[in-house]
């Protein structure tokens, strides 16, 4: 069964450095999402992406964050200047359609980001 | 503020016990309710997506019900097995969104053999 794959599984970065988290969504999917879970808290929505542009973003997704689909297969999340509070598990998800009408989102295994 | 609450936060049962958890969500502007099963170091696995009031879905020993008028869903596990041990997440999507999911904190189930 096709899967969403994320790399790396764990990323350790110094505060203030840029980090890029990578995702390969399922190939025929059209909607892409990033979520994060800070340890002990709820999974939170960051951003959705459709037709090569951001379709919705949360308050968390400020100017330090950006997303890109550079080559038609990868979907990346960049954090420009990381802060300690960016430490979290970051999940990528994809959908053939919007998460409605009985279609679940398909999640990757996540990237654990640790900011020192 | 759209909020999803799950209870209990954690649950310890013996193998063979049946159990259930609750998910509460906003009853207005409802679009869909998702249940996921999440094991540590793995991706959340979709169990059910429900959209209609009164929906009941079943997958093996696991079933779920939905009440959109009062804003709750129940997940039932019949005859729990150790391999059912996981965190069960529910997530809500609302009309007008681009499908982004609002998650509860999850119910962590531990099944002792």
> pLDDT tier at B95 (50, 70, 90 boundaries)?
confident
Q: What angle do CA A56, A50, A103 make, to 5 degrees?
A: 90
Mean pLDDT over A45-53 rounds to 93
Subunit contact B49:A35, Cβ cutoff 8 A? no
Helix (H, G, I), strand (E, B) or coil at B61: coil
Mean pLDDT over A56-76 rounds to 93
Tokens of B70: 């009062």
Task: Tell me chain B's radius of gyration from C-alpha atoms.
Answer: 14
Nearest-by-Cβ selection for B99 from A58, A91, A98: A98
Q: Say if residue B72 is exposed, middle or buried (CB neighbours under 10 Å; 0-12, 13-18, 19+).
A: middle
Mean pLDDT over B9-13 rounds to 97
Mean pLDDT over B34-61 rounds to 94
Sequence-ordered list of residues with C-beta below 8 angstroms from that of B12, at least 6 positions apart, any chain: B110, B112
Asked whether residue A99 carries a pLDDT value surpassing 60, the answer given is: no
Asked whether residue A53 carries a pLDDT value surpassing 60, the answer given is: yes
Tokens of B62: 């696991």
Question: When comparing pLDDT for A103 and A3, which is higher?
Answer: A3
Tokens of A70: 């550079």
> pLDDT tier at A70 (50, 70, 90 boundaries)?
confident
Helix (H) / strand (E) element for B33: namely strand B30-38
Closest by Cα among A110, A91, A40, A36 to B9: A40
Query: Which chain B residues in 14-73 lie under 8 Å from chain A, judged by CB atoms?
Result: 31-32, 34, 36, 41-44, 46, 49, 51
- Give the pLDDT score at A101: 56
Chain A residue with minimal CA distance to B4?
A42
Q: Which residues from A are below 8 Å from B107, CB to CB?
A: none
CA A98 to chain centre: 16
Instruction: Tell me how far apart the alpha carbons of residues B49 and A6 are, in angstroms, rounded to a whole number.
Output: 24
Mean pLDDT over B90-96 rounds to 88
Tokens of B112: 């002792």
Mean pLDDT over A84-105 rounds to 84
Mean pLDDT over B46-74 rounds to 96
Asked whether residue B97 carries a pLDDT value surpassing 90, the answer given is: no
Asked whether residue B1 carries a pLDDT value surpassing 80, the answer given is: no
Asked whether residue B99 carries a pLDDT value surpassing 70, the answer given is: yes
């Amino acid at each position: 069964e096709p899967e969403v794959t994320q790399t790396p599984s764990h990323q350790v970065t110094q505060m203030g450095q840029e980090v890029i988290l990578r995702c390969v969504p399922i190939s025929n999917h059209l909607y892409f999402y990033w979520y994060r879970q800070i340890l002990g808290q709820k999974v939170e929505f960051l951003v959705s992406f459709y037709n090569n542009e951001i379709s919705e973003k949360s308050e968390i997704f400020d100017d330090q964050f950006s997303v890109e689909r550079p080559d038609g297969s990868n979907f990346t999340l960049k954090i420009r200047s990381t802060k300690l509070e960016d430490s979290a598990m970051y999940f990528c998800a994809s959908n053939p359609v919007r998460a409605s009408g009985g279609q679940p989102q398909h999640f990757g295994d996540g990237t654990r980001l640790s900011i020192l | 503020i759209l909020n999803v609450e799950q209870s209990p936060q954690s649950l310890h049962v013996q193998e063979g016990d049946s159990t259930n958890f609750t998910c509460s969500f906003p009853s207005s502007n409802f679009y869909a309710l998702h249940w996921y099963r999440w094991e540590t170091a793995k991706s959340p696995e979709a169990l059910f997506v429900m959209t209609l009031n009164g929906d009941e879905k079943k997958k093996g020993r696991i079933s779920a019900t939905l009440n959109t008028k009062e804003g709750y869903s129940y997940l039932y596990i019949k005859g729990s097995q150790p391999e059912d041990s996981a965190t069960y997440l529910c997530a809500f999507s609302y009309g007008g969104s681009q499908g982004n999911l609002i998650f509860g904190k999850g119910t962590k189930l531990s099944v002792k053999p």
